[in-house]
Amino acid sequence: MKIAEPVTYKTLQDKVVAVDTKTGAYYTMNETASFLWNRLAAGEETEEGLLQALKSEYPDVDEATLSADLQEQLNEWKQENLIV
């Protein structure tokens, strides 16, 4: 899993904003999505790795919830062609 080539992004006030330069679609991410995105950008390519990162960042949240949220986020990004 990695960030799709036409997607350009930057961090503004701790939140990631991304643009699909092919479609012009623009995405503003919340804090958790920004955290995940930055892990992806840093080279974390597996779902398991991302889940472990989430567990470290949000130790008070149970794993099932984190896993479901992660799945939902990754599916959304795949649907939008932000990641491949």
Partner 1 sequence: MPNLMLTNWCNNRCPYCFAMDMMVPAKPRQEMTDETFLGILDWLERHDNRQAIHLMGGEPTLHPRFEWIARTLLERDFPIVVFSNLASEQAPDLAEKLSGLPMVSWVMNIGSPSQWTDKQRERIERSLKAIGPQGSISFNIMPDEDDIFRPLELIERFKLNPNIKIGFVLPTITQKNRSLEENEYAVVAAKATALAVEGSKRGVHLQYECGVPTCAFTDLQLGTLWQCGSAVQSGCCSRLDITPEGELIYCLPLSTVAHKHFSEFACYDEAKAWFEAVYAPYRRFGCKIECTSCPHMHPERCNGGCLAKNLIGTENLNINTDIKVEPPYIHY
CA-to-CA distance for 6 and 15, rounded, in angstroms?
Answer: 19
How many residues bind partner 1 (CB under 8 A)? The answer is 19
The answer to whether 79 contacts partner 1 (rule: CB under 8 A) is: no
Binding mask 14-53 for partner 1 (x = CB under 8 A): -x-x-xxx--x-x-x------------x------------
Write the single-letter amino acid at 2: K
CA atoms within 13 A on the CB side of 36: 27
The answer to whether 1 contacts partner 1 (rule: CB under 8 A) is: no
CA-to-CA distance for 20 and 52, rounded, in angstroms?
Answer: 28
Instruction: State the residues that interact with partner 1 by CB under 8 A.
Output: 3, 5-13, 15, 17, 19-21, 24, 26, 28, 41
